[in-house]
Amino acid sequence: MVKVYSITSCPWCDKVKKYLKAKQVEFEEYNIELDEAAKEECYRISGDLTVPVTTVNGKDYVLSFDKEKLDALLGL
C-alpha cells in the first residue's frame, strides 16, 4: 500500500494526494501532526519531519511534490 505522510494545511501534501487520485493510485494518508506513531515512522524513513513523504515499502521515498520522482517510485 502506498503511504503518504502529511501535516494539516500543507498545499504540497494536497498536490501529491490529488495527483495520486488522478492516477488512480490507492494510498493511505498519515498526518504526522496528529499521529505520534506515524511521526516516528516518517522520521525513521526520511530522517526529518518534512512532508509530503510518499513511500511504498517504507524505505524508498519521495519528498515533496515531484511528479517525475513519484512516477519512478510508483512505476506510473
Distance separating alpha carbons of residues 52 and 12, to the nearest angstrom: 7
Among 52, 55, 61, 70, binds other proteins (CB under 8 A): 52
Using rule CB under 8 A, residue 34 touches other proteins? yes
The CA dihedral of 69, 37, 32, 23, to the nearest 10 degrees, is: 40
Among 27, 33, 35, 73, binds other proteins (CB under 8 A): 33
Among 2, 25, 56, 63, binds other proteins (CB under 8 A): 63
DSSP state of 60: S
Among 20, 61, 65, 70, binds other proteins (CB under 8 A): 65
Strand order from edge to edge, sheet including 61-63: 27-31, 2-6, 53-55, 61-63
- Which residues in this chain contact other proteins in the complex, by CB under 8 A? 7, 9-13, 32-34, 39, 48-52, 63-66
